[in-house]
Structure 1
Amino acid sequence: MSSGILFEVDNHIARVTLDRPKALNSIDPEMDAALFEAWAEINSNPDIWVAVLGATGEKAFCAGANVSGGTEGDGRRMALGGGLTGVGGPMLTLRKPLIAAVQGYAIGGGFELAMCADIIVAADTAQFGIPETKVGIIGEAGIMHRAIRQLPHHIAMALILTGDRIDAQQAERYGLVNEIVPYEKLTETASSWAERIASASPLAVQAAKDAVLSRAGWPLDVALATRYEPIEAYAYSADRIEGRAAFAEKRAAQWSGR
């Protein structure tokens, strides 16, 4: 991996950590490239079942981007956050579940990166904000489109139009975060969520994520009538056979992710 992030895999869980605390973990081209490599590895490695995105330092999860439009060094064009956000370049779809562990400032592109996660665990120090209008910078509007879909309409509009921030307690009240914990327990709690997800069938989890997100903006009748390839493929997997056997034998399943 390039510098700018830490990456490790243990017991089917990948941990991606933004590692520029002196810059409030703001995303530069080198970090973007490193994140792209991390997401690509998570997607392609069948032994990775879930990922946790965190950051070093207590002050900030991520203060956004200090560049726009992805990387410059190798000529590869990607969206902010290693392709995850869809801002400034082609969007990368992460097929595995992603948990964001957020502390301190999550603003601008950092807020958007957190919203790309499936589960958000927040430290009680977390603050979420969209500062573009306050500082007079409007470029890519991805964060606004995500906010209006993940927050109540008037709450999102207030954030967008004023540039003000909401704290962790407000974020939980509005359904943005799943759990609030003291900063000292943030890593432990995010890991607990990851372990709970990893205890389920990884292929079933991935198929469920694909089905839900691929039809999230469609009418219900279309979503119900859609055939989902990952779900159909799961019917022929070793994990499906193991799941049935474990249920019949009243034991814990031993998933292989195959």
Structure 2
Amino acid sequence: MPGYETLRYEERGCVAWVTLDRPEVLNSFDTVMMREIHRCWSGLRANDDVNAVVLTAAGDRAFCTGVDRAAAAIGDDEGPRDIGQQGATPLHFDDPGDWLPPKTAGRLWKPVIAAVNGMACGGAFYLLAEADIIIAAEHATFFDPHTSYGMAAVFEPMMMLQRMPLGEVLRISLMGAHERMTARRAREIGLVQEVVPGADLAATAAVVAEAIASQPARAVQATVRAVWYAQDLGYRQALDVGKTLVRLGTDDDDLAEGQALFASGRRIPWQAR
């Protein structure tokens, strides 16, 4: 993949590691990072060498703190000139949600494992809302300060309703900067799937990503697509679509290999969580 200014990108076997790399501003995003994240998701979609993605951030203070307000007006003729309204009327509006979420913006159905290593707030939820698995360091915190600074929290809570109970979304959105959700609490409500010491975060994410990436790509991606379809569609509609996904996600060679593994009596080593 081409080089980036605001991201670090590395492929380790079948796993891509995408690192937000603006630690000096707590990995907040400007228009350059927005475009690079969008380009990264699009590139991964077409990269058959990668079966899973780990998304993390530089440093241990913050995963992402949303929009870099000091840089929000920076842009060029090739992209949005601002993070926010563009054009003569409010009907022409650009939002980070058009650029950042891996599934909405990138149409990426390869599993994304987010490794959260510090504060995750505001616009960070554009990324976390469409991650498939979230692993957090013990010191990670989650909050949305929009209302404290006179801004409506709109897209972030809408997206986080995919991952959090209604009351928790309302609390995190309405409490603003007055409260931060701990990694432990995020685990209790299902936002986070695992909490580990900060020193173990990368290794834990690697174990999960490598295990997923070792499995047949078509079956994994169809599974991801099925789960997100079920989030987006009605129950009966999702079941109808599922009949197609079963066929699309099952490769005869992969199935034969799996059957042979099962018949051999060998079992995949597993760990408890």
In structure 2, do the counterparts of structure 1 residues 70 and 241 end up closer, same or farther at CA, with 3 Å as the change threshold? farther
Shift of 1:236: 4.4
In structure 1, distance between residues paired with 2:111 and 2:73 = 23
In structure 2, do the counterparts of structure 1 residues 126 and 243 end up closer, same or farther at CA, with 3 Å as the change threshold? same
SS at match of 1:156: helix
Shift of 1:241: 3.4
In structure 2, do the counterparts of structure 1 residues 98 and 71 end up closer, same or farther at CA, with 3 Å as the change threshold? farther
Shift of 1:73: 2.6
Q: 1:148 — aligned with what? A: 161
Q: 1:46 — aligned with what? A: 48
AA aligned to 1:95 is: W
In structure 2, do the counterparts of structure 1 residues 169 and 249 end up closer, same or farther at CA, with 3 Å as the change threshold? same
Q: 1:256 — aligned with what? A: none
In structure 1, distance between residues paired with 2:247 and 2:129 = 29
Shift of 1:9: 0.7
Shift of 1:117: 0.6
In the TM superposition, 1:62-101 aligns within 5 A as 62-66=64-68, 72-76=75-79, 80=96, 83-85=99-101, 91-101=105-115
Structure 1 unaligned segments of length 5 or more: list them: 254-258
| TM-score normalized by the length of structure 2 | 0.82
Contact persistence 2:126–2:159 (CA under 8 A): yes
Report which stretch shifted further, 72-81 or 205-214: 72-81
In structure 2, distance between residues paired with 1:74 and 1:214 = 35
The share of aligned pairs that are identical, in percent, is 35
SS at match of 1:215: helix
In structure 2, distance between residues paired with 1:194 and 1:39 = 17
Structure 2 unaligned segments of length 5 or more: list them: 81-93, 269-273
- How many residues are paired up? 249
In structure 2, do the counterparts of structure 1 residues 74 and 188 end up closer, same or farther at CA, with 3 Å as the change threshold? farther
1:165 maps to 2:168 = no
Q: 2:88 — aligned with what? A: none
Runs of 4+ aligned residues of structure 1 deviating over 6 Å after TM superposition are 68-71
SS at match of 1:150: coil
| TM-score normalized by the length of structure 1 | 0.86
In structure 2, distance between residues paired with 1:242 and 1:185 = 33
Question: Which residue of 119, 122, 137 maps to 2:136?
Answer: 122
In structure 2, do the counterparts of structure 1 residues 233 and 148 end up closer, same or farther at CA, with 3 Å as the change threshold? closer
